[in-house]
Structure 1
Amino acid sequence: MGVQTGPFRGVVPEMSLGTAPVPPPHGPDEQFTAGRRAAAEALAAAGSAERTVPRAPDGRPLFPRGFPGSISHTGRLAVAAVVPGAAAVGVDIEPAVIPPRVAAFILREAERRRLLVPAGPYTARDLFAAKEAAFKAMNSLRTLGEFLFWQITLGQSGGALTASYRGESVPVWVRPEADLSFAVAIRL
């Protein structure tokens, strides 16, 4: 059983999180290493004896069988989420403010009208992170074919955020912070 830790404690079932700072000079190698440290921490919290997460030929992290997970990083922070028993997990952290022009491209008109502040509870950065996390969870099994994260549709029902693409959907949890948005999607 996973241990609920971090900002989603009590919200996302059986999720374990790991975090690691990205050391200077904050480049790709340091981000990769920090991501693997965060993954090892999340795997340990979830009860996995295996703590190594190699890279697939296409660059995706290969979590141990029975411990699906995901890694995301910025130039300063890496985070990993593991959800034992899930089919797939997606996590994303976004530190950048999303300009209106980018938001208009990645978010459909209905998403902007219903989900963005002031009508909805989310910023463009929150929804960008939600789509990225959902893409990782939905695309990790490679059953939906090739698609881009912005093609996912976000909707909200009863306060829950859901990401959909080609008849498949996953719940997404978003936690905004002052300097970043953090999202997790779980495919059961």
Structure 2
Amino acid sequence: MPDRAALQRAVRGLFDGPVAVGLSDPSMPQPGLFPEEEAALAGMVPDRRREFAAGRAAARLALAEAGHAAQPIPMQDNRAPLWPPGVAGSITHTRRLCIAVVSDRVRALGLDAEEDHPMDEEMISTICSEMEISRSGSIPEQRFATMIFSAKEAVYKAQFALTGALFGFEVLDVTLEPDAGRFAARFLQPVGPFAVGDSLPGRIAEVAGHLVTGVAIGQRPGKGA
């Protein structure tokens, strides 16, 4: 697994409020799953089973850090994790690691990690608009596209926890500020409570050969900045 301490620092730095972070290595054996989680494995190929088990292991580590007892995190009908009441969370994985974040101070979290490789050129037009690519500046287009992809994934996960809405990459317009480690994702179509022009801020970091992005929605009153 890449540098654990560096990853944890980077992930915590993606969010204004405190989050608990759990890490696991999908290439290694994982603790057993709860029966409620085992039910989700039916039909999964072996690689996906390993990713699922590693994701749940990371999630339980994050929950333990936040003071929660070990408990099942079932998969809902929409395939999203069912977190304990009052807890927001997000799980992401690459071939080399799984990361989970949880917090009781926000309504929703979105976390994404991508291995820091340039995107395949043929995928760029699917992920990014011409306007987005026009803002790449001195960053190579294929690497910039990977950053846009990760930002959109984090925003999508955060909004999905609230809306359950499925949509494509074209619904969001992402403006990156790589030097500041920030981005903003503007809605180009209405989605649930988000109107055209509404924007969600996020952060991006480069660490341990990965790009990681994070978005939080809705600080809960009386629970921090």
Cα separation, 1, equivalents of 2:48 and 2:11: 27
Following superposition, the deviation at residue 146 of structure 1 comes to 3.3
Aligned to 2:125: 104
* Code of the aligned partner of 2:80: R
Cα deviation code 1:11-52 (max 9, x no counterpart): 512122111001269711110000001111111222333543
Note if contact 1:69-1:80 (Cα within 8 Å) is conserved in structure 2: yes
What is the correspondence of 1:144-159 to structure 2 with a 5 Å cutoff?
145-156=165-176, 159=180
Q: State the distance in 1 between where 2:101 and 2:11 align.
A: 11
Q: Name 1:173's counterpart in structure 2.
A: 203
- Decide which of 101, 122, 125 is 1:81's aligned counterpart: 101
Equivalences, count = 182
Structure 1 position 83, deviation (Å): 2.5
Letter in 1 for 2:204: V
Counterparts of 1:86 and 1:118, CA distance in 2: 33
Residue of 59, 68, 85 corresponding to 1:39: 59
Bigger radius of gyration among the two:
2
Moved more, 60-69 or 95-104: 95-104
Q: Give the match's secondary structure for 1:87.
A: strand
Query: What is the correspondence of 1:11-50 to structure 2 with a 5 Å cutoff?
Result: 11-12=14-15, 13-23=17-27, 27-49=47-69
Q: Distance in 2 between matches of 1:150 and 1:27?
A: 29
- Please state if 1:92 is matched with 2:115: no
Query: Which residue is equivalent to 1:163?
Result: 185
1:71 matched residue in structure 2: 91
The alpha-carbon distance between structure 1 residues 116 and 65, as it changes in their structure 2 partners (threshold 3 A), is farther
- 1:108-162 deviations in whole A, cap 9, x for unaligned? 2221122464399x7322221111111000122126x431245221125794311
Structure 1 gap segments, 5+ residues each = none
- Where does structure 1 differ by over 4 angstroms across 4 or more consecutive aligned residues? 156-159
Taking CA–CA contacts closer than 8 Å with sequence separation of 6 or more, which of the two structures ends up with the larger relative contact order? 2
- Whichever residue aligns with residue 64 of structure 2, its letter is A
Of the structure 1 ranges 13-22 and 47-56, higher mean CA displacement relative to structure 2 is found in 47-56
CA RMSD for the aligned pairs?
2.7
Which residue does the alignment assign to 2:153?
A: 132
Instruction: Note the C-alpha offset of 1:177.
Output: 3.2
Q: Could you list the runs of 5+ residues in structure 2 that have no partner in the other structure?
A: 1-7, 30-45, 219-225
| Percentage of matched positions with identical amino acids | 29
Q: Does 1:187 align with 2:209?
A: no
Please state whether the residue corresponding to 1:182 is helix, strand or coil.
strand
Would you say the 8 A contact 2:22–2:59 is kept in 1? Answer: yes
